[in-house]
Structure 1
């Protein structure tokens, strides 16, 4: 098991991406602490993990609430004995479908502010413990990685690029303490699209058509990549982003 004995907090653990990461981590032996704003989806993921023989606990909190995030991280580190992995995959509240020239400033800035604040708050809470341990991994779902971001995505691309800038800065500051910082990026995960999303099938087809492999990344792919990034198999990987876009995003 690649993550045997590790303790991982997953912010946004009740969502499709967070759930996939949580299940994959637990499969590889990690004790998973799922955090998010709503109890029901967190409990659903936790039950799936437990039914498969894994260890999972839940906590209702807002990743933007620094006091709550700090208290929860302290509790995990104290009760579990360490805090080894921190994953931030919360939703950013972005508004899409409106040209930038016609957007309300507040709608554009919301995902940027949310992404930056949640990334910093969760990273700070984990880093305090990881620095004492001399090891740890910070993982996020990050940047756009493309020269052509597409139309009408609002502040999402700016938010994702901000996460990548923070990934680089956190990596250089925390690296001397044995802490790695990695992001995953994709061209979209069709399975993560809400079932009631208008035009869902067309969007899923567009995501697939943009790839080089003729298939989009799946939630299982996301979980597997996250396991690799968080494990000792990636011990030399930091300040990096792992491209799981199936060729939709090209690294230059």
Structure 2
């Protein structure tokens, strides 16, 4: 298994968090789930246990520096290491409203939230990874051309800011053997609820630019995350894994 004897912290209990946590567990990692939403977190933990995986849970606000630091310290002390960290919390983005009509609060919320939480969780993990002289910090999202027929507010701007942060972290942590890798999806159709008004059109807009005629699936995301976190990807840092099914060509 790719991640046997590794400790992976996953912040966030949404659909992508679930996919990545299951991907890590399938490859043998002990998954340390951290979320403010206990009910969803417990459901993911149960899914991991059902496939024979190892998991711990903790209620953590990933925007609270003290809480994030304390949790990472607990993982390192009780489990022996912090080997992987990925932040997948929701960032409070508002979509569907043109920028010209959007309030400043709605625009800047996802940017402030994404940059703050990515910085805090990366910093907390990096302290232990530097000491270990090993570890992988993963980010999720990536940058690309804006959608022409859908309004995503400050969401893409947030991704762009975190992408710059990812590169800077990679440069600073590389000398300690710590890798920082992004996962770029171009949108995951499965994340759009069936009840969402305009779902068909939105899914179509995500699928049309792809070369494979589909977007990445939850399983694709989990598998890519596990690979990126493993020694099979030991030479990859400061870069993004393009899992957009050809929607974005680097």
Give the TM-score, by structure 2 length: 0.97
- Which residue is 2:11 aligned to? 11
Distance in 1 (alpha carbons) for counterparts of 2:112 and 2:63: 10
1:142 CA drift (Å): 2.5
- Which residue is 2:2 aligned to? 2
Select between 199-208 and 107-116 the one with higher mean Cα deviation. 199-208
1:188 CA drift (Å): 0.9
Distance in 2 (alpha carbons) for counterparts of 1:43 and 1:196: 24
Distance in 1 (alpha carbons) for counterparts of 2:194 and 2:16: 15
Instruction: Output aligned runs, 1:155-170, within 5 Å.
Output: 155-170=154-169
Runs (5+) with no aligned partner, structure 2: none
- Which residue is 2:77 aligned to? 78
Contact map agreement 1:184 1:241 (CA 8 A) in 2? yes
Instruction: Output aligned runs, 1:37-116, within 5 Å.
Output: 37-116=36-115
Distance in 2 (alpha carbons) for counterparts of 1:142 and 1:205: 19
Instruction: Output aligned runs, 1:114-193, within 5 Å.
Output: 114-146=113-145, 148-150=146-148, 151-193=150-192
Distance in 1 (alpha carbons) for counterparts of 2:91 and 2:244: 20
Give the TM-score, by structure 1 length: 0.96
Distance in 2 (alpha carbons) for counterparts of 1:247 and 1:84: 30
- Which residue is 2:248 aligned to? 249
SS of match in other structure, 1:154? coil
Distance in 2 (alpha carbons) for counterparts of 1:98 and 1:5: 45
Contact map agreement 1:46 1:57 (CA 8 A) in 2? yes
**CA RMSD of the aligned region, Å?**
1.1
Alignment: residue pair count: 249
Distance 1:161 1:149, change over 3 A: farther
Contact map agreement 1:9 1:35 (CA 8 A) in 2? yes
1:149 CA drift (Å): 4.2
- Which residue is 1:212 aligned to? 211
Contact map agreement 2:141 2:186 (CA 8 A) in 1? no
Cα shift readout 1:84-136 (whole Å, capped 9, x = no counterpart): 00011111111111111111111100000001000000001000000000000
Distance in 2 (alpha carbons) for counterparts of 1:218 and 1:189: 6
